[in-house]
Chain A
Amino acid sequence: MLMVIVSGLAIGALFAATALSYNVMYSTSKVLSVTTGHIAMLGGVFGAYAISALGQPWWLGLIAAIVVGGLFGWLTDLIAIRRVLARSDEHLWLLSTLALATMVQQAVGLWWGTEPKPFPRLITQDFSAGIADQKFWLPIGLAALMAIGLEFFYRRTMYGKLFLAMSEDAFAARARGVSTDRIRVASYVIAGSLGGLAGFAAGQLTFAYFALGLTLTLNGFIALAVGGLGSNVGALVGGLMLGLLNTFASYFFGGEYQQTIAVGLLMVVLLVKPEGLLGAQNVRPV
């Protein structure tokens, strides 16, 4: 039973990390990018590639995952967001990020192969460690660290305050002389490197698998919508809730209906409290 809880927390931590990554991008651009899960997938795949295939030490793999994630975040902004945000049609960013996500997934599938490949051990540890196994504690620790780091960043640094200002009102921030374009690019790079880091830390749990991105995009989004869009604490709570629910459901009913249960949770929360558990009240569109 303890095993179920710990593995639920671990997978939930990965969802929460993805949701945090969504949040960072959303705060500056009001865009929910479909590529969010694919960033984490890239972190896992490139980490495994650097360590297993190239035989590098684990810290080089870590750097590779962060750099590739950050680079892809930057590319997302450059290709799929920048030109589209200039137009007024609000649906276009959904299409452009979906297109980019598909391209990346297919490219990784062609290059890396469509089979999940094992992710190397990062710390020498016996496989019989049970609940103390690193594959559970790495993602949990990382998600906690990410949430604390982001909170510190938002509260204590000038750049973080600029992020907050943009998420409150981008036009007002621009009028005050904030270079909103540069802040947006910075937020995508940060979200990308955080996502890459999350994919790397959870690699032993998920394996290096090219189709992971779409699942993470969906589950990270569900975690975010349950916790409340824009709230970092909400992302953590939503992610952990979703992860625990997933593992408990497969423990009691078997693993066939994971997605159904996740979407069921989303629907219940959206019906009872549409803005999410800790989200801000929605403003009417008029």
Chain B
Amino acid sequence: MNTKTRLLWIVPGAVAALSLPLWSNDQYQVHLAALICCYWVLIAGLNLVVGYTGQLSIGHVGLLSIGAYTFAILGGKWGWPAFASVAVAGALCGLCGLLLGLPSLRLPGFYFAMATMAFALIVGEFVLAQGGLTGGGVGLPVPGFPPPFDTPEGFYYLAVIAAVVASVLTWNVARQMYGRGLIAIRDNPVTAQAVGVPVFRAKLTTFVFSGVTAGIGGALFGSLQSYITPDTFHFELSLFFFVCIIIGGRGSILGPFLGVAVLTALPELVAPLAKLGNFFYGLLLLLVVLVVPEGIGRVFELIAQRLRPRSAVSVPVAPDLPRLARAIASIQALK
């Protein structure tokens, strides 16, 4: 896809997204779209870790939960201004990402995945154990944002702004030298190190960035849910983020975005899928991994290749005789 066709898709999509509260007469659709945006803020950062750097983090729900609880405690219990709480939530999750990444990013693939999964479980344990701070199993109400973001439509626009900022940031990283370095780490860490990519530092920086986006996404997510319990942040949510990226295709930004949009909306539109829930996500992940490990986008590329008849352009090859004669003549003149 070149830039022009991409714009052809993105501009109408953006217009439709921005005008959604105007033409949608269903409050629930706005809620769903805001949820997609909240998820995307997290997934945009996670995409750099999973899709670009190839570190399979399956524990980002832990960071999401820390962000949401930080926002709820600061903004709700202690009465801080909402946007200051969001900033602190992002900073705290960045710090947690640093603390988690420092030991675990040195580990090979499966060890890292298990360490992040353990992190998610530890956060769940901690939330339950610190009942005085987090409300334990009962949960905690989460405050909203000040006007003009206090209505569902207002919150939706806030979420859209956050999502756009997150996308621009990740796109900026991905398209530059730094992003190429990340892809090199994913494809072959030894080679990447040999050509001068600072492997560990790049991984750690990316992971901390994903922690910050997860914290901000978590704050928005908590505010959208308006009440959070430890059950809100079950481990399967982590799997859901992960599946969105793998299905959308690694090393792409549009792919995972479409992945999260479709996978969030699909169970709402098709009722039987909602009952199967995570079974369906597991099946989808298995199918994608076995059939098209490059992501669903690859299927469309393959279909497009099939449909478009390959026009064989024949380029006649003929020697440029006068030039050849001149060259021979000049060589003979030299002798």
A contact residues vs B (CB 8 Å cutoff): 32, 79-80, 83-84, 87, 89-92, 94-96, 98-103, 105-107, 110, 214-215, 218, 221-222, 225, 256-260, 262-263, 266-267, 270-271, 285-286
Q: How far is the CA of A259 from the CA of B114 in the complex (A)?
A: 12
CB contacts (< 8 Å) of A83 on chain B: these are: 290
Interchain CB contact under 8 A, A94 and B122: no
Q: Is the interface of A mostly helix, strand, loop or mixed?
A: helix
Interchain CB contact under 8 A, B54 and A91: yes
Choose among A94, A102, A222 the residue that contacts B236 (Cβ–Cβ < 8 A).
A102
Q: How far is the CA of A99 from the CA of B117 in the complex (A)?
A: 15
Some 22 contacts from A to B, beta carbons below 8 A apart, are A79-B286, A80-B286, A91-B56, A92-B293, A95-B246, A95-B285, A102-B236, A102-B279, A102-B282, A106-B282, A110-B276, A110-B279, A214-B117, A214-B235, A222-B114, A222-B118, A256-B129, A259-B125, A260-B125, A263-B115, A267-B103, A270-B111
Q: How far is the CA of A258 from the CA of B128 in the complex (A)?
A: 12
Most chain B CB inside 10 Å of its own CB: which residue of A79, A80, A98, A267 = A98
Q: Of residues 101 to 120 in B, which have CB atoms within 8 Å of A's CB atoms?
A: 103, 107, 109-111, 113-115, 117-119
CB contacts (< 8 Å) of A218 on chain B: these are: 114, 117-118, 121
Most chain A CB inside 10 Å of its own CB: which residue of B119, B122, B190, B276 = B122
Q: How far is the CA of A101 from the CA of B189 in the complex (A)?
A: 28
Q: A110-B276, A221-B114, A256-B129 are in contact. List 9 more A-B contacts (CB 8 A).
A: A92-B289, A99-B289, A106-B277, A214-B235, A218-B121, A222-B118, A256-B125, A263-B118, A263-B119
CB contacts (< 8 Å) of B56 on chain A: these are: 91, 94-95
CB contacts (< 8 Å) of A221 on chain B: these are: 110, 114
Q: A100-B286, A221-B114 are in contact. Are A260 and B293 (CB under 8 A)?
A: no
CB contacts (< 8 Å) of B278 on chain A: these are: 102, 105-106
Choose among B54, B103, B122, B290 the residue that contacts A260 (Cβ–Cβ < 8 A).
B122
Q: How far is the CA of A107 from the CA of B229 in the complex (A)?
A: 25
Interchain CB contact under 8 A, B54 and A99: no
Interchain CB contact under 8 A, A259 and B286: no
Q: How far is the CA of A256 from the CA of B128 in the complex (A)?
A: 8
Give the shortest distance, in Å, between B135 (CB) and chain A (any CB): 15
CB contacts (< 8 Å) of B103 on chain A: these are: 267, 270-271
Q: How far is the CA of A100 from the CA of B128 in the complex (A)?
A: 29
Give the shortest distance, in Å, between B212 (CB) and chain A (any CB): 23
Q: How far is the CA of A259 from the CA of B289 in the complex (A)?
A: 30
Look across to chain B and name the residue whose beta carbon is closest to the beta carbon of A100. B286
B174 contacts A by Cβ under 8 Å: no
Question: Could you count the A-B residue pairs with CB atoms below 8 Å apart for me: how many are there?
Answer: 99
B155 contacts A by Cβ under 8 Å: no
Q: How far is the CA of A103 from the CA of B332 in the complex (A)?
A: 78
Interchain CB contact under 8 A, A96 and B122: no
B239 contacts A by Cβ under 8 Å: yes
Q: How far is the CA of A195 from the CA of B89 in the complex (A)?
A: 42
B71 contacts A by Cβ under 8 Å: no
Q: How far is the CA of A114 from the CA of B116 in the complex (A)?
A: 24
CB contacts (< 8 Å) of B111 on chain A: these are: 225, 270
Give the shortest distance, in Å, between A285 (CB) and chain B (any CB): 6
Choose among A84, A87, A98 the residue that contacts B239 (Cβ–Cβ < 8 A).
A98
Look across to chain A and name the residue whose beta carbon is closest to the beta carbon of B124. A259
CB contacts (< 8 Å) of B282 on chain A: these are: 99-103, 106
CB contacts (< 8 Å) of A270 on chain B: these are: 103, 107, 111
B281 contacts A by Cβ under 8 Å: yes
Q: How far is the CA of A106 from the CA of B217 in the complex (A)?
A: 27
Q: How far is the CA of A285 from the CA of B109 in the complex (A)?
A: 13
Give the shortest distance, in Å, between A210 (CB) and chain B (any CB): 12
Interchain CB contact under 8 A, B290 and A84: yes
Look across to chain B and name the residue whose beta carbon is closest to the beta carbon of A82. B290
Give the shortest distance, in Å, between A242 (CB) and chain B (any CB): 12
Interchain CB contact under 8 A, A95 and B281: no
Q: How far is the CA of A249 from the CA of B282 in the complex (A)?
A: 35
CB contacts (< 8 Å) of A95 on chain B: these are: 56, 246, 285, 289
Interchain CB contact under 8 A, B286 and A99: yes
B80 contacts A by Cβ under 8 Å: no
Per CB-CB distance, the 8 closest pairs between chain A and chain B, nearest first, are: A102-B282, A256-B129, A106-B279, A99-B286, A99-B285, A103-B282, A263-B118, A95-B289
